[in-house]
Amino acid sequence: MDLQNVVLRNNLMHITIFPQYILQLPRSAHGHHHDHCSSATLPLGRFMASVIPTKKYKLGPWEFSFNPGPFNVKEHVLISMFANAGAAFGSGTAYAIGIVDIIRALHEKEDTKTDKSLTRGKFFAIALICAFSWQLVPGYLFSTISNIAIVCLAFPKSVLAHQIGSGLQGLGIGTFAFDWNVVAAFNGSPLVTPFFAIVNIAIGYTLIMYVIIPTAYWGFNLYNAKTFPFFSSHLFTSSGKRYNVRDIVNSKFELDFAAYEKQGRVNLSTFFALTYGLGFAAQYRASSSGKEDIHTRLMKKYKDIPNWWFYILLVASFALSLVLCIFMKDQIQMPWWALIFAAGLALLFTLPVSVITATTNQTPGLNIITEYIMGLILPGQPIANVCFKTYGYISMAQAVSFLNDFKLGHYMKVPPRSMFLVQFIGTLIAGTANLLTAWYFLNTVKNICQDQLLPEGSTWTCRMTMYFSMHPSYGA
């Protein structure tokens, strides 16, 4: 496989399909963009292979063509990696398994003359058409069936009924859905997650949601829990009103202790207060084996990635981060030694977390740990807290996603150097596009991060504002 040609055609194709990720900005429960990308890529790839000129060009010692030949399965895999580099880093799902199955169904040829049974390709086409047709119902035509709360419908004016029956802001008892995206939203598809992991998660979920939280809320009124909503992602004052984070930070986005004392301590809903606390108590165990399998032996025929590629990338990115910390102190607010500390945390946890992800399909997060550590070291520095979390947690999550893609390429026998280059270019393009898109919407959609000020029925909102709002309070 000609690496330069593959990357050229992949880049051309992603110019045409990248806007789909921008369209995911409105609030939605829908996911599975990897599957959508893989499904849409095949006809588009074959079309481009048939119409793009095959003329070869020379650039010094290199020769390349925008159309190196028929669209093949390895290019298909590389495009999926390209999309994943910017769309869902650290997603923690058994992404490789689903993509491998889809790509095999789309590419592998079967003998239809001797085998009259339903082929994989036909089955996939039927399933795709049925899924697309049905998704129009809960997704656009009748969204109510995505979340039917029987208890809430029976007692529409009862606060207690909504706390018990609401699937959005309560326990969700008596709630069901006809939308697979809603069913699989929390733990991903149960078809690919190991059974023992599903059982562990189900037990933990039941204990927290139906035993610990109700007992703390109704039984003990823990920390005046009844003053606040049962389940909410917002912050509150001691009287139950919405907490205004802007009032407790100064012009440099540092915590104003006088204003904080005046407005009072930050309060969380019962759900978030307990789950944040329980997050510190998470324990895990992992083991690994160095046994060489058939995939590893087959991959030996390709040139491996030189270690110096990784070293150069590590040194360059770390040096750039160090320059930002030293020469942009007012913007970054994180000292250089904190960067080294965060990088050390990421390095320490990447291997065990990767093993856990590969074994259980669940990815433990360092988000709470990094936030808490930086809150103790530099109290009242929310920007520094966010930066420390980025380097300590997000970098580890991206490394796990990087390995996840390599696992996919390992199964599909894609040259390692091609995978590295596609991920590198995809990350640069996606990171730039994500930043520009976020900047554009923050400056053009008024109150996009304050849902209480948005017009009724607005589909725009900031995702996970709860976690960003929490940073000013760490170490206060």
H-type helices in 250-335, by residue range? 257-263, 270-280, 294-299, 307-327, 329-332
When mean pLDDT is compared over 169-173, 337-341, 439-443, the highest value belongs to 337-341
Query: Could you read off the pLDDT of 263-320 as tens digits, one per residue?
Result: 888 887 877 777 766 655 554 443 444 555 676 777 778 888 899 999 999 999 999 9
Average pLDDT of the segment spanning 111-136: 74
Q: Residue 54 has what pLDDT?
A: 86
Q: How far is CA 266 from CA 112, 191, 213, 224, 275, in A?
A: 66, 40, 19, 13, 16
pLDDT band at 116 (very low <50, low <70, confident <90, very high): low
Q: Residue 260 has what pLDDT?
A: 80
Question: Nearest-CA neighbor of 124 among 101, 94, 154?
Answer: 101
Q: Residue 24 has what pLDDT?
A: 35
Instruction: Decide if 422 contacts 10 (C-beta within 8 A).
Output: yes
pLDDT band at 99 (very low <50, low <70, confident <90, very high): low
Q: Residue 278 has what pLDDT?
A: 62
Instruction: Decide if 27 contacts 146 (C-beta within 8 A).
Output: no
Tokens of 348: 């320490």
Query: Could you read off the pLDDT of 408-459 as tens digits, one per residue?
Result: 787 778 888 888 888 888 888 888 888 888 888 888 888 777 777 777 777 7
Average pLDDT of the segment spanning 117-134: 78
d(CA 24, CA 145): 21
- pTM here is 0.62
Q: Indicate whether 160 pLDDT > 90.
A: no
d(CA 344, CA 338): 10
